Amino acid sequence: MAIAELKTTRLLLRDWRPEDEAPYAALNADPEVMRYLLGPIDREKSDAQIGSFREHFEREGFGRWAVEVPGVAPFIGTVGITRMPYSTPFTPAVEVSWRLARAHWRQGLACEAAQAALAFGFEQAGLAEIVSITVPANLRSQAVMQRLGMTRDVAGDFDHPNVPVGHALQRHVLYRMSKQAWRERSPG
């Protein structure tokens, strides 16, 4: 299955290439990038994630794209929409998420790419709702969620089932966006 390319004003969300593996592994080895994700992961796990992203596209028709800034940076991270692979009170659900190299933070790129992913999810994939999650301390990601027009669902906050019980990152906040809310925010 061909992975759809999404173009924004500054970005290209595209299929993964072999040359993305090393910079993605470097991103995943950065303690600051992985601060709210249980810390850095090794090259083997990083490469396995890319494989799982491609499998998700095959299975669902959407997933996590590699992100580049054409003419500037061939790979800056990943953004996309994925079915959440675990059980919580609000699943089944599709999550929009992002992970960019630090050199590309604070430029609005995560929000720009996530908007493209949301548009694909609602307009092409026909999703009724997309959620986003993070830990309460991750104020930057929550700010992106808010800029996207997502609404915090305080009653939906939960203990992440893949985080060890009692771990400082176990508690997560939940943001939601319905297709209707997306339509009301989108021009045209």
H helices present in 38-164, as ranges: 43-60, 109-119, 139-147
**pLDDT tens track, the chain, 188 positions:** 678 999 999 999 999 999 999 999 999 999 999 999 999 999 999 999 999 999 999 999 999 999 999 999 999 999 999 999 999 999 999 999 999 999 999 999 999 999 999 999 999 999 999 999 999 999 999 999 999 999 999 999 999 999 999 999 999 999 999 999 999 986 65
Per-residue pLDDT, 1: 65
Q: Do the beta carbons of residue 114 and residue 133 sit within 8 Å?
A: no
Amino acid at position 94, single letter: V
Please tell me whether residue 41 adopts helix, strand or coil conformation: coil
Residues 167 and 155: their CA atoms lie apart, in Å, by 21
pTM: 0.95
Domains and CATH numbers, the chain: 6-185 (3.40.630.30)
Q: How many C-alpha atoms does 78 have within 13 Å on its Cβ side?
A: 26
Structure tokens belonging to residue 5 = 């390319």
Q: What is the model's pLDDT at position 185? A: 83
Question: How is residue 135 written in tokens?
Answer: 């830990």
CA distance 86 to 83: 9
